[in-house]
Every structure is written in structure tokens, then in C-alpha cells.
Chain A
């Protein structure tokens, strides 16, 4: 008669052990959040940071436009969370932010190639990704390897922050209380990392992780500016979450400013 008891005991013991092990796994995931001083950029440990001479630094500016009829921004259905419905009733999709002259916002423009083996200092100032009104602000952003990303929940509702990184480590962390903050750092270059909130299916953002500071996100007027570049020849890429990517090569001399135009088609 003791055998069934023994079997039940074994099953429940195994279940408890595995469950506890799984819990510990969860804690390890949470430990990825706090920033540490040792989170130095990968590959920059040996090389001394490059100092760009401001007197000779060049600039690449430009504008990103869209031809064709842009799809109108859609009204987001917020009914699954009464708080969101009340906090941001007019929320619209941010996939294609197109101005009246065809200029397009939320395009990530960056130096894809041409910097060689130069290493750049890691800023200690955090980049902030805010969850406010049940959407991410900003929608598209850039960050350097090792630079702290501070993620804030300004909403009086629960969010989970799910970074679907591929080259970096994927993470998913809950922020159930208003005002909660977490800090995360990335160890590898990755363009782009999608962020989503699985609680609110419409919430998404994109983050480009680079090993240098030469990136920009176009505003609604479609313009961008990459300042402080060492003279040289560069491949510049413009990335859009739906329209894809475009690249151009540009050569800038000392103190020179070059203008680029990117055009995406519908």
C-alpha cells in the first residue's frame, strides 16, 4: 500500500524541484536588467577610444521622403485595457509617419560601414524608453553598445518589456507598477531590435544598437544629421520598419557637409 504513496511523492518532488529550478532561471533573466560598470562594449576592450578632431569633423545631413500614397495611420483599438482606452483614446499607429511633402519620420539612419577599427567611448548617460499612454516613446531610437537603456513605465497599468534581440540576449520583464524603471545594456551591435509589449499587442518599438555614435532618427520633417564624422568614405543606411532599407555611399572631407536624399517607394 505504500508504493502508490511513494510514486505520488516522487512525482510531486520532481515537479517541485523543476519548478524551483525554473524560478531560479527567471531570477537570472531579471538580473540582466541592472547596468554594470563592467558592461564594456564588445571588442573595444583593447582599442583606445578614438578622438575625433572637432576642427576637421565632417557632417552628413539629408532627408528621407516617400513617394506614392502613404497608408493612413490607423486608430488603435484599446478596448482590451480600460486604462489605455481612457489614457490615450486617440492613439494611432506609428508605422508610417509621413508629412504633407512626403517626408517620412521614424527612419533610422546610421553609418553602416567606413569607420574601420575606430573605437568610440561609451556614453554613461542613459537613453530612455518610456511606456506612456500605452505606447512607446520614442518609437524608433538608437543606442551604443554598453550604454544604459532605461525603460520606464509611466502608465497606471501593467506592461511587459520584451526585447526580441537575436545577436544580443532576448529578454522579457514585467513592469506591473506605475513608475517602475529597469536598466538594460546591450553587448553586441544589432540593427534593429524589435521591442513589444505582449500585454498590449499594438505596442512596439525599435532600437538600433551600434558601436559608434553616428546615427539619427528622422523627425516628421524627414531630416537627419550625422555630425562629428572623421573625414572619409562611408556607407550610410536608412532603415524603416516596413519599407525596408536603402544605402548610399558618401565621401566627406575635412569640415565638409554633404547632403543625401533617400526616397522610399510605396
Chain B
């Protein structure tokens, strides 16, 4: 639930930038002098609607992460998972402060880009917590594993999945830079750039925009390689096949949304969907990466299923 609410928050943040509403509420943490939850709904007009909505969703997500961190501290036996909770809390608090600073300092590019980039980290942390506390993770995906120890660990997949996830994150940071420096339409045509494959003239904005397009091509190839590897070598591992297929679907959608963003002159809904879908591509790749490394986490905790039950599941699978 926290991870899903973080995705909603990223969409709401995308709407603020896409509608140019970032400074429509000039004060922070209050809204026109009202306490955030006391601001009248009837006054949420124009740009205030998007900015104040973003603040409401952000404070809700912040509270949910506080609850999550406390919950993990109270109930989670694995120290590293508890630390993930504390880290998520620290990240979301920092994120809120960055959001405030960016308003009070009139949207400086560096702070706005940091705000957008840290949002992805928060989403990654909440998604990781959701994944590693899931039943499937805790039982080591025993029901879909082939009982051959050699086939469980695939260092090629581990490496390419990590590279893909890092590349997606870098691509998102480039996208945030493009977005916050006003370079979103620096190259106004698509798929060509000023009628050519490579732009015939350059300035900083064109360079940032083109870097995002080149990054998109690189990321697409990496995702195709990762997903192709999974589908070819691990087709019986549902926990890998599902995110691999989802990754292919999401990246195709992402390219389409990116093209439509340019062709529609940054229509704000399309633009915001491009932002949130990019975040979904990132966390899907992260899930695939973490699952490909599942064996490295060992049998640190299997409270949901006993070893004998896991063995029974594997035997059933072999018989089937």
C-alpha cells in the first residue's frame, strides 16, 4: 500500500511540474497561511489544485512511511529490513524538506532535480520493503524453483539486471534534468531530431534532450537483454518471468508516452503519465534484480513456510 501510494505521489508531483504550478502556493509548510489539512477545498483553484493536492498526498505518504518504519521496528526480525524502514523514513523526510526548499527558493534547478531524483529512491525503498516482506520472498519462491542448486544462481542475470536498474535510474535523472531545465521540447520533432538522426545544431538544452533520447535507446536495449535472458533461461521461474514481461510492456508504453509528450507539446496528463510510468519501469527492474539475487540472501528467515513444506512443494513440482 505504501509503495502504491508513493507511485500516486510521483504522479501528483508530475502534474505539478507539467502544469507549471510549482509556485502557485508561495508559502511552506503552510498553504496561504492555512495548516495543510485545514486549507479549504473550495480554494483549491487553478495551480493551487495541483500543488496543494501534491502536498496532501505527500504528507499522507509521509505518515504511512512513519507507520511502516515503526511497524518494521516492532515486528520485523531481520535487522537489514528494519534499517530499510529507517532509511525510507529519512528519505521521505528529506524529500519533504527538499520540496519545501524548492518552493521557498523559487524552483532552483538543482533542488528540483534532487527532489525528483530522491522521489525515485523513496519509491525504490518502499517497493523493496514490500518485496522482501512478501510471502513469496520469505519462502524463497520455493514452489517455482527447480531443485537444482546450480540453476538457481545466475551471475549473468544478476549483473545485467543490476546494470539495467542503474541505467534506468540514470535515465530518469537525465529526464528530471530535462524537465526542470525546460528542455522538454528543445527537440520538437520525433522520432528524428530536427529532421536528422543526430541534431545538426547544439545548445545545452538540445544536448540534455538528446541525452534523454539516447538514454532511452540504451535502456530499451538493456531491458530487452535482461528480459530476453529471463525468458530464455528461466522460463519456469514465475517470479522472474512476470517482472521481465511487465518490464517489456512498461518500456514500450514509456517510449510511446515519451513520443506523445513531444508530439502533444507536453500535454500535462501525458507528460505526468510518462513520469510515473518511468518510475514503474525502475521499480519493476529493481524487483527483477532483487529476485535474481534472492539466493544470495539465503534462508535468513522462513517463518511463513517450514523447510519441510518447501521441500514438499519442490517435490510436487518435479512430479508435475
Chain A residues at the B interface, C-beta cutoff of 8 Å:
4, 7-8, 11-12, 14-15, 18-19, 22-23, 25-26, 29, 80-83, 157-158, 160, 162, 170, 172-174, 176, 198-201
Contacts and interface: CB of A to CB of B under 8 A. Distances in A.
Interface stretch (B44-52, B218-226, B310-318): B44-52
B73 A160 contact: no
A23 B25 CA distance: 14
Interface stretch (B90-98, B113-121, B137-145, B146-154): B90-98
A50 to B, nearest CB: 36
Interface string B20-37: 111111111100110000
B15 to A, nearest CB: 13
B231 to A, nearest CB: 42
B22 to A, nearest CB: 7
Given A160-B23, A173-B26, A199 B48 contact: yes
Contacts of A198: 20-24, 47
A22 B47 contact: no
B27 to A, nearest CB: 5
B202 interface: no
B29 A22 contact: yes
Contacts of B46: 80-81, 199-201
Contacts of A29: 26, 104
A7 B27 contact: no
Contacts of B47: 80, 198-201
8 contacts: A8-B89, A18-B97, A26-B104, A160-B25, A162-B23, A174-B25, A198-B22, A199-B24
Contacts of B248: none
What DSSP secondary structure best describes chain B's contact surface?
helix
Interface string B75-113: 000000010001001100100110011001010000000
B43 interface: yes
B73 A176 contact: no
Contact of A23 (B29, B45, B69): B29
B19 interface: yes
Interface of B: 19-29, 32-33, 43, 45-49, 69-70, 73, 82, 86, 89-90, 93, 96-97, 100-101, 104, 106
A4 B24 contact: no
A82 B48 CA distance: 13
A8 to B, nearest CB: 7
A173 B93 CA distance: 25
B106 A11 contact: no
Contact of B32 (A7, A8, A158, A170): A158
B92 to A, nearest CB: 10
Given A4-B82, A11-B93, A80 B101 contact: no
A86 to B, nearest CB: 12
A176 B86 CA distance: 38
A23 B101 CA distance: 10
A160 B26 contact: yes
Contacts of B48: 158, 199
A14 B86 CA distance: 14
A157 B45 contact: yes
Nearest to A12: B93
Contacts of A19: 29, 96-97, 100
A118 B19 CA distance: 46
B11 to A, nearest CB: 19
A7 B86 contact: yes
Contacts of A173: 26
Contacts of A15: 93, 96-97
A22 B28 contact: yes
Given A22-B101, A160-B24, A176-B33, A8 B86 contact: yes
B86 A83 contact: no
A4 B25 CA distance: 36
- Interchain residue pairs A-B with the least CB separation, the first 7: A198-B24, A199-B46, A81-B45, A176-B32, A172-B26, A15-B93, A198-B23
A199 B20 contact: no
A201 B46 CA distance: 8
Given A8-B69, A11-B90, A199-B47, A174 B26 contact: yes
Contacts of B27: 26, 174
A162 B49 CA distance: 18
A29 to B, nearest CB: 7
Nearest to B42: A82
Nearest to B20: A201
A159 B221 CA distance: 47
A83 B26 contact: no
Contacts of A201: 19-20, 46-47
B25 A82 contact: no
B49 A170 contact: no
A25 B104 contact: yes
